[in-house]
Amino acid sequence: MPTVTLPPKENALFKRILRCYERKQYRNGLKFCKQILSNPRFAEHGETLAMKGLTLNCLGKKEEAYDLVRRGLRNDLKSHVCWHVYGLLQRSDKKYDEAIKCYRNALKWDKDNLQILRDLSLLQIQMRDLEGYRETRYQLLQLRPAQRASWIGYAIAYHLLEDYEMAAKILEEFRKTQQTSPDKVDYEYSELLLYQNQVLREAGLYKKALEHLTTYEKQICDKLAVEETKGELLLKLDRMEEATLVYRRLQERNPENWSYYHGLEKALKPANVEEKQKIYEEAWVKYPKGLVPRRLPLNFLSGEKFRECLDKYLRLNFSKGCPPVFTTLKSLYHDKEKVSIIEELVVGYETSLNNCRMFNPNDDGKEPPTTLLWVQYFLAQHFDQISQQSLALEYINAAIESTPTLIELFLVKAKIYKHAGNIKEAVKWMDEAQALDTADRFINSKCAKYMLKANMIKEAEEMCSKFTREGASAVENLNEMQCMWFQTECALAYKSMNKYGDALKKCHEIERHFVEITDDQFDFHTYCMRKMTLRSYVDLLKLEDVLRRHPFYFKAARTAIEIYLTLHDNPLTDEHKELEADTANLSDKELKKLRNKQRRAQKKAQLEEEKKNAEKEKQLKNQKKKKEDDDEEIGGPKEELIPDKLAKVENPLEEAIKFLTPLKNLVKNKIETHLLAFEIYFRKEKFLLMLQSMKRAFAIDPHHPWLHQCLVRFFKAVSENKDLPESVLTVLKQEMRRLFGETCAKSFNEAFLRKHSNSIPHRVAAAKMMYYLDSSTEKKAIELATALDESLNNRSVVISTDVLEGLCNGSLGDNKETAEMYRADCHKMYPHTLAFMPPGYEENMKITVNGDASAEPEEIGNDM
């Protein structure tokens, strides 16, 4: 049907509909739509029907809105308004590809419509269609050459396409049109200059960038950015004397910024360690209170020079009472020589301070009593770091005895118990710390995190509710605030309790947060160009491209994949069928007892459900009130995440792949990504994809114990599978020989064991595979895995717990006596670890939290 032109009266009403939509006066807009559509001549007017649909969509009436817009489009297929509205509708449902198609159709009928072009460009940058974005921005520039956003958008398109020189030319042409006085401070112009300089640097035009910075230095507001950029550019241009002056000025401005010292090092090019140390010695004289110039030399000094420098650094911190001193030295703990010097020095301080209140008997003047406290605090953390938890506890207990009101001491004590493998005791001490200052959100969060590690989910929720919105459930409020640390810990707690549905719900909630964060960038595409925050805008776009590289996403994805693998191996059975099978063997009396028990459980569940529903209704009412108060545009309703439905999914491996795909693209550098991929493809029997995962993991760490187990299983699967096509088998064997030098699983396992005979994790992996390949080797495999000789490396609570679990779950054979003997041996070595406590210990132990005793069972495997 051709486009119907409205007479002046109806046309005026239509313009008012557009104004009402722009001002979010949706109800008024609907009244004007009714006035036009009630006229029989215009009852099927396409553009009015489309606008009515768009307005209803903003009021949450999705289905009705789609019907009206489609009807309007059918009546007027050549109307740019109908196509534009249909695009807006698709955009509100996050169907960006469909929306782009609609906008392109709208442009066929009105190719120079500014609003459609702007909307199209927003979707193109959102979907990273950079070529399309450049073309659209070029059209906008031709139509509105006087507008600032037209130039900036076009330059950004070239910048993102990595055509830096073209982007720099466009920005320079635009800059020439800006008439600003050299003495006038204009923040937006300053941002433009800094962005222009960033483009020049990325293009590799360092000389030009430095000249640009020097020319416009007075007009740039961010003086610190100018100096830092100048320092970097001078280093790149090998103008070391000038760079030295710049970094010395920056040091005076902030002597605690480590990057300025590294810049100065590069500029001065010290020939040896002595010259390097001189740079810092000068800084000690110049900035006597500076901690960074005293800390940085510890990275490159060794022997007596290291001891001397460390002595000054520690004395300064301990006398001052600086709690994070251990954290600043933690990065040195990979060097055994430095660790022994640190221990020797600080233990010496502690002995001397106890005897004569001085760091050394030959010193002048006594130290304040708090110095000993901070030395003990440091030693507790030191011994915890080197896995000597019993010694660490002695020092922290001595410190608590002298100052029982210092929160930091209880935090460290809880951390020591956590590292010792006793999460219940850790929760007790963390709760003690939290009780000392209930207004501290950090300690509250820490306490909740420890509770989740101990599978005390309800207690953790109560703990967090002290800082969540009143009148709303703590869990829902934390989800609303995208509190992902809480949700990842919750997912791990539910997983260890075998509540897979609830764990998956948390993982999917985290996935939704990342989708929301991606969608939220939409608002910044216009805002940043208007406010000229261009450097931050480009950084935002680059961050969004690698968003799922974040540890929170990795943790959630890994948990979800592991659960889906478990569900694939052991699908959840229907409880009713199981009960029917069980009741068939019961007597009448037992059956009656069981029925009563079921009835009581049902009644309890019903009451809890009613309580939940009442809470939900209350929250929904509040939400509806909010929506009525401000009629804002809303997206489509999200599908509710139901734990049972998530746990009883039809194809768990396909669901696992959805979480795996972003990891394969963005977290390629982590071996776990490729090993999880292998586990999925192993179950799907995709041999070439298994090989691909193995090759990628092998390139990262060829000696990883988990990788070894995967390889052995892969070799065995290839040799046993008789249905493989000849071509695939040839490729597999050829690649296996080339990469691993072996295709026989047994000989590969023996070679691995010979190579890593001194490392416990590698011995355990080899022992598991020995038993997996041949169950008659059970005795030898157990001997290998349970060896705890002092000559063996990499012994830890985590690996010992893993061995005990292997002895109990059958992956190292079924021998309960050996398991009990191994537990007893480990208990002597790790007296605080819950997993190695004698049988019956857990039943006698209760955790008291805020006066309430809780005795929930827990899986110790999750608390490391």
What single-letter DSSP state applies at residue 48?
H
Q: Are the C-beta atoms of 3 and 76 separated by less than 8 Å?
A: yes
From residue 751, how far is each of 708, 745, 770 by CA, in Å? 11, 10, 12
Per-residue pLDDT band at 841 (split at 50, 70, 90): low
pLDDT recorded at residue 1: 44
Of 292-306, 614-628, 684-698, 796-810, where does mean pLDDT reach its minimum? 614-628
pLDDT recorded at residue 42: 83
Is pLDDT of 630 > 70? no
Per-residue pLDDT band at 522 (split at 50, 70, 90): confident
Interval 380-402: pLDDT, tens:
999 999 989 999 999 999 999 99
Interval 238-279: pLDDT, tens:
999 999 999 999 999 999 999 999 999 999 999 899 999 999
Higher pLDDT, 577 or 484: 484
Percentage of the residues of the chain whose pLDDT score is greater than 70: 90
Q: Which residue has the tokens 């037209």?
A: 150
**Ranked by mean pLDDT, which of 69-83, 244-258, 721-735 comes out on top?**
244-258
Is pLDDT of 314 > 90? yes
Per-residue pLDDT band at 620 (split at 50, 70, 90): low
Grouping H, G, I as helix, E, B as strand and the rest as coil, residue 151 is helix
Q: The tokens of 686 are what?
A: 């995709």
Distance CA 106, CA 619 (A): 41
Interval 525-561: pLDDT, tens:
989 988 889 999 999 999 999 999 999 999 999 999 9
pLDDT recorded at residue 576: 45
- Which of 395-403's residues contact partners 24+ apart within 8 Å by CB, and which partners? 395/350, 399/373, 402/369, 402/372, 402/373, 402/376, 403/373
Distance CA 89, CA 388 (A): 62
Interval 409-433: pLDDT, tens:
999 999 999 999 999 999 999 999 9
Q: Mean pLDDT, to the nearest integer, of 559-587?
A: 72
Is pLDDT of 845 > 60? no
Mean of the per-residue pLDDT values of the chain: 87
pLDDT recorded at residue 861: 37
Of 112-116, 180-184, 254-258, 354-358, where does mean pLDDT reach its minimum? 180-184
pLDDT recorded at residue 589: 65
